[in-house]
Amino acid sequence: MQNDAITALNASWVAPVVPRQQLWADFSVVMHQDRIIDLISTKDLAEKYPHADCVDLSGHLLIPGLVNLHTHAAMSLMRGRADDLPLQDWLQKNIWPLENQVMSAEFVKDGTLLACAEMLRGGVTCFNDMYFFPESAAKAAIEVHMRASLGILAIESHSAYGMDALDYLNKGLATRDALRDESLISFCLAPHAPYSVSNQTLERIALYAAELDLPVHIHLHEAIDEIEQSLQQYQVRPLKRLQHLGLVDPHLVAVHAVHLNTEEIELLSEHGAHVAHCPTSNLKLANGLCDVGALLKAGVNVGLGSDGSASNNRLDILAEMRLGALLAKFKQNDAGVINVHQALEMATLNGAKALGLDQKIGSLEIGKKADIVAVNLNTLELSPCYHPLSHLTYSAGRENVNHVWVDGVQVLQHGQLLHIDQDALIKSTQHWFEIIKRDSAC
């Protein structure tokens, strides 16, 4: 795109997210460089922007880029390796041993590239990652022109990436310093979980979060075993322990949050904390159902995450929208607890807000970054279309995502990735498949 070029995306419908509960018919989103500069009725476009480069998106719904609030992107190379197991068996007997055998900067780079390709094809323009070698994940995201919030990992066990939690933190902070000028890259502090991180490390993270104004992205209240272990070791439930250590505040992004009592929901709300809801992963690992309806009623900001491919098998936020909305209705016995506008908010603006990125992304507003997704609703399976957001939430799938722009740059066109060599990516995936099959004891 030339510096002076203006592009207008002329769509049948636009769901801006802000203002809330809005759906505009026959509307255009106007972009200049990396920004949205106008939202205007298409009938008025030619008069105001006579030289705009127009993209005809008849039959399409424009939405903000989807935000995957929790994933482990490189684990796409482990998809299907340890299915149908409870969390601790899955993690301690299968995933961690496998990671010890194959972990490297190259593994993370290739796995993250594979994940980025999958997510972009499904309309995800930003992902929040927690994994080893974040510098390699950054290289992958930058290469394909995708937005990423990368975890500065902390865990007490050693790996090919680091010796201990302090080593992980120091390396992650150095990576943040090295990439501070990359517009697509941001960072979170990412202590793995209360059961794998010490009080000393968590106190250090609380200080860093306050000093650097960074989100704290942590698995929390995911399973009953985690809570029982905390009660035995610390005599308090995990969330209360985090509160004692100074970590329950607006920086906190609590991942899963399946097992919360009323007091804990109120605590999250009172302190402005966020929840990353991962419905498919919670079901697949048989951890339970997060009470999203109760969280939303209490005013807690809830976004959607896929978790990693090893515990979900898909990095598909449209699928999480549908499942999350349906499970909330079941859990609350209330068909209206989440409507289709709220489901889209959870998949876009709420995730951006949890990452501190809501001034840049998450809604289609003048001045925001042009992270935009066009979903084709003009298909046999989606006809007739009475309500586009109903179709988006309950009927459409990632196969209906037709075009994607990130930071004003088109990365998906007619379903085809524009910045990824798919043949080379499949070749690298096969390379890691052979290594894992040959060397893994899992």
Report the C-alpha gap between 405 and 315 in whole angstroms. Answer: 18
Q: Across residues 398-415, what is the average pLDDT?
A: 98
Residue 86 above 90 pLDDT? Answer: no
Report the C-alpha gap between 429 and 316 in whole angstroms. Answer: 19
> Please, what is the average pLDDT of the chain?
96
Does 70-354 match 6-64+372-406 at the fold level?
no
Task: Place 89 in a pLDDT band, splitting at 50, 70 and 90.
Answer: confident
Q: Where are the domains of the chain?
A: 6-64+372-406, 70-354
Q: What is the pLDDT of residue 4?
A: 74
Q: What is the pLDDT of residue 440?
A: 61
Tens-digit pLDDT profile for residues 155-164:
999 999 999 9
Question: What string of DSSP letters covers 300-320?
Answer: -EEEE----TTTSS---HHHH
Task: Place 294 in a pLDDT band, splitting at 50, 70 and 90.
Answer: very high
Please tell me the number of Cα atoms within 13 Å of 11 on its side-chain side.
27
Percentage of the chain lying above the pLDDT 70 cut: 98
Architecture (CATH level 2) of domain 70-354: Alpha-Beta Barrel (3.20)
Q: What is the pLDDT of residue 234?
A: 97
Tally Cβ neighbours within 10 Å of residue 83.
12
Report the C-alpha gap between 249 and 46 in whole angstroms. Answer: 48
Residue 442 above 60 pLDDT? Answer: no
Percentage of the chain lying above the pLDDT 90 cut: 92
CATH number for the 6-64+372-406 domain, one of 3.30.1360.10, 1.10.150.20, 2.30.40.10, 3.40.50.2000? 2.30.40.10
Which three-class secondary structure state does DSSP give residue 68? Answer: strand
Residue 251 above 90 pLDDT? Answer: yes
Q: Bridge-partner residues for 31, per DSSP?
A: 7, 36
Tens-digit pLDDT profile for residues 176-186:
999 999 999 99
Residue 227 above 70 pLDDT? Answer: yes
Q: Residue type for 56, please?
A: D
Report the C-alpha gap between 44 and 5 in whole angstroms. Answer: 19
Tens-digit pLDDT profile for residues 131-159:
999 999 999 999 999 999 999 999 999 99
What tokens were used for 67?
């935000």
Q: Residue type for 346, please?
A: M
Q: What is the pLDDT of residue 1?
A: 38
- Residues with Cβ within 8 Å of residue 46, at least 6 apart in sequence: none
